[in-house]
Structure 1
Amino acid sequence: MCDQPYPQAVIFDLDGVITDTAEFHFQAWQQLAQKLGIEIDRAFNEQLKGVNRADSLACILRHGGQEQVWPPEARQQFMTEKNDLYRQLLANLTPADILPGILPLLAAVRAAGCRIGLASVSENAPQVLASLGLSDRFDFCADARALSHSKPHPEIFLTACQGLGVDPRQSIGIEDAQAGITAINANGMYSVGIGATLTEADYRLNHTGELAWPDLLAHWQAAQVCPDTLITRS
């Protein structure tokens, strides 16, 4: 009888999984969009989750019929302005803003001997982790500035797996955005979706408070090919 397998790593998205800075992103983008005469609301903002800054700006300009109006240097200025607004909002972030279920999950994953990674397209991820007091909990954080592609491209999760020295097929990815779930699945990882509207996740929960390592591990084990072991999903 073969041993029950354990994942080599658990890799987390940041916004909406570890902490909720999505509202900060929305407020910063909304202020910039208003300056350009473009109206965006929270429903539109769903399209921007898990998407990098350049692609988010392109989406907003396309929405406002201004995609062909602004040259690259102007777009760069807009992105800098948005990031400055966002960083101002981040100033009030503290460990109290860590989402429910995350601290015990991080502790349990570490106790199980699994590596822990971060796959966030936010260039401010190191600042966010430091503000939350979580910098030392992660073995590797993918550098968003070094990426060529945003989610749903699988690059960021593949980069995280490479940085951790693990096999994507033996790793778990946790995301709250549809683009992120697509990226995880494209790498052959086991995908965990946080959110009622997500599709195609291997295991979906409504919110982070439902994350529990024994359940997550059991679901992951049940998905592994181990003909001599039968794991019942909980």
Structure 2
Amino acid sequence: MQPTVPLAPHRPRAATDPTAPAARLTGRAFAAVLFDMDGTLVDSTASVVRCWLRLADEYGVTVEALQAAAGHGRPARDIVADLLPETDHVAGLARITELEVADVEGVVALPGAHDALARTAGRSAIVTSCTGPLALARQRAAGVVVPDVVVTADDVRHGKPHPEPFLTGAARLGVDPSRCLVVEDAPAGLAAARAAGMATLAVTTTHEADELHADLVVPDLSYVTWLDAEDGVVPGVRPSA
């Protein structure tokens, strides 16, 4: 997820009973787990809001227009293209990148993120709509252990909800897409995962459960267990964190 303009802070929302749909995923071994970053592993909402509101102010864009153009999980270049005249696309993208890389105040790891990355080490990737420099800045600020494979907006032509980002992650890990589990917080990312033919696990850190069409929905990653098996990683779910 990134850069989006949710004008409210991240908060864990109660998902529908997290144990009810667990059979769709639990007990199944996945060769790879592909994690979205912002809103899934990292809380960067305050920075996102500050920076996009500042960009809007600098370009004379109303908050209403900003909210209409912003889409959670979409790359910044797509939001800028919808928000600003074509003559300002290059400068606008450079400016929002500059603002966000410089502003990492309050960027922290979300519950369960450190454990999830540790327990899926060697079988995971981060697939984010951030640019490379921004992804690195937020990873460092949050103190997350970064997998060997990271796919950013700089690595793909089409961003989420197009499947290219997740297909690129699977290819770099050398794993068939059908054996991948995607962990996301945003409808655009989940749509990309489904289009890539991958299983989905959603966290309700930025959206209500009924907005997230996934195989399993939990409040955050602290509700998920990860078992290392010979043929992959087996996710499980605990009733409470």
Shorter-chain TM-score: what band? 0.7 to 0.9
Q: Distance in 2 between matches of 1:13 and 1:86?
A: 18
1:143, distance to aligned residue in structure 2 (A): 3.6
- 1:130 is the counterpart of 2:140: yes
Q: Which residue of 2 aligns with 1:168?
A: 177
How do residues 182-193 of structure 1 correspond to structure 2 at under 5 angstroms?
A: 182-193=191-202
User: What does residue 3 of structure 2 align with?
Assistant: none
Distance 2:168 2:45 in 1: 23
Letter in 2 for 1:204: V
Distance 1:203 1:128 in 2: 27
Q: Which has the larger radius of gyration?
A: 1
* Alignment partner, residue 152 of structure 1: 161
Match of 1:30 in 2: 53
1:6 alignment partner AA: A
Does structure 2 conserve the Cα–Cα contact (< 8 Å) formed by 1:22 and 1:49? no
Matched pairs, number: 199
Q: Which amino acid aligns with 1:174?
A: V
Q: Which residue of 2 aligns with 1:181?
A: 190
Q: Shift of residue 193 of structure 1?
A: 1.1
d(CA) in 2 for partners of 1:209, 1:40: 34
> Partner of 1:86 in structure 2?
100
- Higher percent of residues as strand: 2
Tell me which amino acid in the other structure corresponds to 2:74. V
> Does structure 1 residue 39 correspond to structure 2 residue 62?
yes
Per-residue deviation, 1:169: 0.6
Seen in structure 2, the aligned counterparts of structure 1 residues 71 and 189 have a Cα distance that, compared at 3 Å, is: closer
Task: Identify the structure with bigger relative contact order (alpha carbons < 8 Å, sequence gap 6+).
Answer: 2
- Pick closer, same or farther for the CA change 1:98–1:122 going to 2, 3 Å: same
Q: Secondary structure at the match of 1:162?
A: helix
Q: How far is 1:119 from its partner?
A: 0.4
Higher helix residue share? 1
How far residue 26 of structure 1 moved from its aligned partner, in angstroms, is: 2.1
- SS of residue in 2 equivalent to 1:212: strand
Measured in 1, the distance between the counterparts of 2:172 and 2:43 equals: 25
Letter in 1 for 2:113: I
Q: Which of 226, 233, 236 is 1:213 aligned to?
A: 226
Root-mean-square deviation (CA, aligned residues, Å) is 2.5
**Whole-Å separation in 2 of the counterparts to 1:147 and 1:32:** 24
Distance 1:45 1:18 in 2: 25
Amino acid in the other structure paired with 1:85: L
CA contact (8 A) 1:26 1:45 kept: no
Residues in 2 aligned to 1:37 and 1:143: alpha-carbon distance in whole angstroms: 29
Q: Percent identity?
A: 26
Secondary structure at 2:89 match in 1:
helix
Question: What 5-or-longer segments of structure 1 have no aligned partner?
Answer: 62-69, 220-234
SS in 1 for 2:182: strand
TM-score scaled by length of structure 2: 0.73
